[in-house]
Amino acid sequence: MFHIKHPRFLSLVKPLYYRTRVTTDTVTRASIGTLIFCLVFFLPPFTGYTAPYRIYEDNHVCANDFAPGEKGLFQRAFIGLIGVIGCLTVIHVVLCNVTIARTGKRGGVGRRRRRIEEEEEEGENEEEEEEEEEEKEEERRRKRRRRGKRRRMKKRRRRRRQRKKRRRRRRRKEKEEEEERKKEEEEEKVETGKRKRRRRRGKGEKEEDEEEKKMEEEEEEEKDKVETEREEEEKRVERGRSNRKRRWRKG
């Protein structure tokens, strides 16, 4: 059964309504005004109430023109036109209300387009704000990550330096102990050599003194040799350390 909310009927009427660019409130006011006009000027003659109408000098009442059975062609056409306008207005109001109830939108094309543009602008502004917020949040996260990375790198470098220092100290200590042991062994060798020579040769005191001098000279030479070797080793270690530092700075 055909009804006023039929989709085809609405699809025919909606474009007309939107092209008029008239708001629902304006249409409602116009329809109410038309109905009041009809009630005031056209209902009284049919009911016999003629008070609002002016009486002519010849005692002819204007309302008698609209009395039943005495209506002319013009009166009939005028009343029909007013009736058609009233009916169309009521239908228009009903359709407007139906459209608003169905779509939740008010107003004609201009207002509708403006509202759509405003909504789009608001949506774009919201999207831009959201993008800016996301960018700021991402920047904050990046900074936090950088800070965390820097801290971790600092800790790693500090630990590495400490490990290197401990390793150097340990090596130095081991080296010193090794040198001390070597010195003691050398001294023991020298002492045992002296004793053996004395026993074998059994020579006089002069020869022994000369022998002791020679042995002392040999010992001093040995000591000088060991000392120079140690100094060279220290220089080599220092050179390697400085080279490593230079490489680390470059890297």
pLDDT in tens, 158-207: 888 898 999 999 999 998 998 888 888 888 888 887 777 766 665 555 66
User: What is the Cα–Cα distance from 117 to 240, expressed in whole angstroms?
Assistant: 74
* Residues 46/83, Cβ–Cβ less than 8 Å: no
Which DSSP symbol is given to 68? T
- pLDDT of 217 reads 84
Burial class (CB in 10 A: 0-12, 13-18, 19+), 63: buried
- pLDDT of 14 reads 62
Distance of CA 212 to the CA centre of its chain: 90
What torsion do the CA atoms of 225, 227, 229, 232 make, to the nearest 10 degrees?
-140
> Which residues of the chain fall below pLDDT 50?
1-2, 21, 47-61, 63-71, 109
User: What is the Cα–Cα distance from 167 to 80, expressed in whole angstroms?
Assistant: 114
- pLDDT of 229 reads 86
* Residues 9/88, Cβ–Cβ less than 8 Å: no
Complete DSSP assignment for 70-111:
---HHHHHHHHHHHHHHHHHHHHHHHHHHHHHHH---S-HHH
With vertex at residue 132, the alpha carbon angle to CA 129 and CA 133, rounded to the nearest 5 degrees, is 85
Which among 10, 104, 17, 15 has a CA at the least distance from the CA of 2?
Answer: 10
Map out the domains of the chain as residue ranges. Answer: 7-107, 182-251
Which among 188, 178, 191 has a CA at the least distance from the CA of 226?
Answer: 178
* Residues 68/62, Cβ–Cβ less than 8 Å: no
pTM score: 0.25
